[in-house]
Structure 1
Amino acid sequence: MKSFMESGAPVPRRGMLIFVIAGALLMAASIMAGAIMSPEGKDIPVVLADGEVITPPWYITIDGEKIALVDSQQTAQEVVGDVIEEYRRGSGTVLDIEVKEETQTEKMEIKNGDKAPDILTEKEAKELLSEGKNGESYLTVVTTEEQVQQEPIEFEQEYKPEPDMYIGEKKVETEGKEGTKEVVKKVVKENGRSIREEVLEEEVLEEPQEEIVLTGTKNYDGYGGGTGNYSGDNVSYDPSAVYETLGNPIDNIYISSGFGQRWGRLHSGIDFALAQGNSIYAADDGQVYFSGVSGGYGNLVKIDHGNGMQTYYAHCSKLLVSQGQHVSKGEKIALVGSTGNSTGPHLHFEVIINGNCVNPLDFLDL
């Protein structure tokens, strides 16, 4: 390898070397002079340690925390504006848009000879603000929208007793049909997720058509299942093999009278003693096929659960459901009372399978 002298390259004279150094200093000075003479409001360029000349970058701050560093204040403002604007593209007309956090821009303190800072591109800064930490955006953009939607109107079912059909049997006499309504809503969202809705107005476009269901009231002559006698004290069957456990019809369990012979006749259910006005609940999903006054039962609710099973809730002070209504397991259907043949507030609860009273304790988890 040739030495610098052997290469034939001219050797720079000492004066020339001084000239090169002076030129570099002059260039740096001219940059600084240009910065000093820059119009007011312009960022002053700096020479970094690697020789790159940049203007000071700007931080995007959220609630005082420095989140992203971009090349200029304008870029910082555009990034925040673009992230907010993304949520203007909702499913309705945006009435208002605001950000919960305080967003600002702040110039980075940088001087000649500093290392190059980690400056994000506009795309990278947008992604950082939107995705944030653990997928949660740094910004909470709240939009208020007005939405106009068409929604279905569920049809109601009316249950008509049919004496020629057995208890537990059902038949649709008239098919139901959903209706349609136009709904105007005010919807408040946070980062595109609905947090509150308010219906402003509704207009029915098409009325629903009620469904008519025939439900049998005719008793079976017997159970017919061959698994035991369902109409007396000596019941020998496994109800769990056929039916699910029923929910408790009341909150506080105190049985004042059980199922079986009482005063020379069959007491066809069990009595739960508790104060007037306590809640009574449906023991299972089903259809109310009677709700009203019924002789010694007083105010009475009868529910058909299908599969040949019904439950009775007697002596109520107030009935909260009506005939034909569908109820869910655990739904409040009445209040405890002392109507009919009753000596004090209590719930008389019966379980009937295919027209025969059975011991409710075989179906309850007390």
Structure 2
Amino acid sequence: MGTVDSVEKADAMLVQAREQLAKGQKNLYMVENLHKEIVGEESIYKQVDDEDQVYAKILKTFKDHQKETMTRAYMVKVNNTTVNLESSDDVNELLTRAIAKYDENDEYEVRTEINEDRIMSTLTAKLTRRDIDFDAVSFNAGIESVIGKDIAESELIEYMDFKDITQGIMDIGFAEEVEVAETYIPRSELVDVDTALSILTEMQDVQQIYEVEAGDTLSAISNRVGIPMERLVELNSDYLKDINSTIRAGQVLIITVPEPELSVLWTRREIVEESYEADIIYIDNDNWYTTKQVTLTEPSAGFRKIVSDVTYKNENAVSRNIVKEEILLEAVAKVVERGTKVPPTYIKPISGGSVSSGFGRRNSPGGIGSRNHQGVDFAIPTGSTVMASSGGTVSSAGWSGGYGYCVLITHPDGSQTRYAHLSKVLVSAGQSVSQGQKIGLSGSTGISTGPHLHFEIILNGTPVNPLNYIN
């Protein structure tokens, strides 16, 4: 390269050349295949080369051997998905295009702010409304003087006519946190804005919870959420055996909903006329059980005009806040009288055993007994303990014709339970018994073909299937 007057000067030139090479570059470089060797000797009359010429040679040699290794990029992170863009302008374009179809009048812009919750320096992307000249906003003549300039918009709207209320976008934001960080990556990992937008907005199945409502069936749920019944069974294999499995109100099912990685939450003010239902009016009756209710007044739909702020997640409405309402036809509320007392529960009156004859129509076993079976039979060895299915008062205890030795218990809500074909009765008429109390021993007395317990539940004087009631 040349001769300079000291090792320190040579090292300084090397450092300066590297800095000069990197200055103004947005990418990272390395200089390869170069070997540095500094040879020094002391001499009184040794001539040194011009420093500028030596420096120029060093710089040229570095440039001839430089190799780009990493490029500066902007990493956009949403949940666990990242895309790498070349510039901050690309980031703004990506996020602006993500909301474009919801931002009807191009009123919102992307801004970034420092994320104080992160140890590493990152920015969080936010959407803000572009500057609005609030002085240019006009209201009905005289309103400002009546209610004051500082009144909240939600209160102001109550004084406005429907024709003076503007429909449109009220707010837009991202449902997920969007983080932006400057980084250095291989150029091959960069993507263009179109690709990044496709990655972040591509629909994918996301699991959600669905709570079964009264009257729901698997087929109805399948149609409502757009998932085949076979897929519902697969997602809930711990609870559902097949598409014919029984579901109950309050049961929780897993469903899948198509959602993009980056979702947009946006609120739109809308004016609509619609029919509506009044809230049900309940009248509590402390003398009735909660299983009893009577409709006193049938409902009738009303009609109204409303201003509502509807919040959407992508294309789907998720909430609605009514800010102004004008009733055009008053709805008639449904009035229901309902009980407040907790009804008794029923437990299986034996431990173990198996159902040998179900409730309802049957072929009489051995040609004897009723063809319309008004209870269920549990096959169980003679002498097994029989318990009160629910607490109450013993109405009768003893021999009862075809029932053999039998106990009949009346419960506080008026329901009754019957225990028949006992080998021994352990309670007497008029006695109070508690749920689970031992009341007799099983047997095969009366009209019977073998050891078993005949068990009935009687509601409002009518036998019902006990298997639908016992816990």
Shorter-chain TM range is 0.3 to 0.5
With a CA cutoff of 8 Å and minimum separation of 6, indicate the structure with the bigger relative contact order.
1
